[in-house]
Amino acid sequence: MINGFLKISAFLVVVALVSCKKDDPAATGLGGETNIPLTAVDSVSGVYAELDGANALSTEIKIKANNDGDVTYTGSVDLLTLSPELQAKALEVMNEHGDYYEASKYVTLTPDMKLNFEFKVKITSEGYQDYFTDGKPWIMVKYNDPVGTTYTVVNKNGETLTRTITEKTGQDDWPFVFFLIKTVKVEQQIASDDPMVDHIEYRVNHKFGLVYLEYVFKDGTNLAFEMVPWFLL
């Protein structure tokens, strides 16, 4: 679920951290090279979050394993270091919506309020794919696909969900660290019964991977993440 848990995972990273039409790209999977600089084991990336435009948290995620492009990330967040607002959102997700997001598959909360998380995504030279929607592969993006390309998955309720490439300028116009980079923007449809999230947007770059993730919640709040693979700079 980058439906279910990147909602959460990224959400607090989290709580804890998702025209050329294809015939079912989710089923055909993701090709490309799997041993690339972005997927090197033991590499560490920074994750920086803003809640409604205000700094909320920073943490690190580390690549624990790379099995033919299936990359396992681990990390930890001390909830006591977060703002009261973000602590409240984290506990709301864990206590009220944890079952919906299947949080127990990805995150554990220790008695001293440490949130430890582990999740897997597929990363190749071609793009990104996750397994957060009922364990099914769902492509987030293929870098070379044009605007209008859609990637679909059918969830356990029989609902077809769609990710769509909505912007690809080909220009270095997205602010990243101290410079500008090219990105592909992807917008994700949310399941109709999702209790918290209204929609999700992603920004990806062919070298740095997923660099931006934004959740807009049904209560009007906004949580945005910037991911920086410092080892590639």
| C-alpha pair distances (Å), 210 with each of 24, 92, 95, 127, 157 | 22, 26, 28, 9, 28
Are 32 and 129 in contact by the 8 Å Cβ rule? The answer is: no
What is the 8-class DSSP label of residue 40?
-
Lowest-confidence pick of 6-10, 190-194, 220-224: 6-10
What's the count of helices (H) and strands (E) in the chain, helices before strands?
A: 4, 15
pTM: 0.86
Number of neighbours of residue 126 by Cβ within 10 angstroms = 21
Determine which helix (DSSP H) or strand (DSSP E) holds 12, and give its type and residue range. Answer: helix 11-12
DSSP states of 156-167 as a string? TTS-EEEEEEEE
Better-predicted residue by pLDDT, 65 or 20: 65
| Residue-level pLDDT at 91 | 82
81: which DSSP letter? G
- The neighbouring-strand residues paired with 124 are none
Q: What's the average model confidence in pLDDT over 88-96?
A: 82
Mean pLDDT lowest for which of 17-31, 56-70, 187-201?
17-31
Tell whether the model's pLDDT for residue 183 goes beyond 50.
yes
Q: How confident is the model at residue 10 (pLDDT cuts 50, 70, 90)?
A: very low
Give the largest CA-CA distance in the chain.
50
All structural domains of the chain, each given as residue ranges with its CATH number in brackets, are: 4-232 (2.40.360)
CB of 144 closer than 8 Å to CB of 124: no
Check residues 151 and 5 and name the one with the higher pLDDT: 151
- The CA angle 143-159-191, to the nearest 5 degrees, is 70
